[in-house]
Amino acid sequence: MALPAIGEQARKLVAAQKEIPEEQLTVVTIEEVTWSDSSLGCPQPGRQYLKSIREGVRIIVEGKGKRFYVHGDAQGRLFICDNPRRAVGESR
């Protein structure tokens, strides 16, 4: 999926799940990233994940004074991540 299209998909996802009008949301960044496991950078407490390199995306959407992190896989499946982790190779 093309990055601009996936950014729009992320904006729609945030609008629907966070009940914020789409016109009040802005896509700040869209990055292709490599995740270190099947959590796609968003591990949930008490769950185990397959340790394997996964290609995907990270999109940051802003609105109503908040940042929303949307993570996804190479197939374009997206979800909002409330506690994002770094991708492979990131040091920040």
Q: Strand pairing of 78-81 and 66-73? A: antiparallel
CA gap 67, 3 in Å, rounded: 19
Full-model pTM: 0.91
Cα distance between residue 92 and residue 87, in whole Å: 10
E strands, the chain, where?
26-35, 54-63, 66-73, 78-81
Parse the chain into domains and list their residue ranges.
Answer: 3-81
pLDDT digits (tens, 9 = 90+) for 54-85: 999 999 999 999 999 999 999 999 999 999 99
Question: Residue 41 and residue 6: Cα distance in Å, rounded?
Answer: 18
Retrieve residue 59's tokens.
Answer: 């999109």
Each residue of 33-45: pLDDT tens digit?
999 999 999 999 9
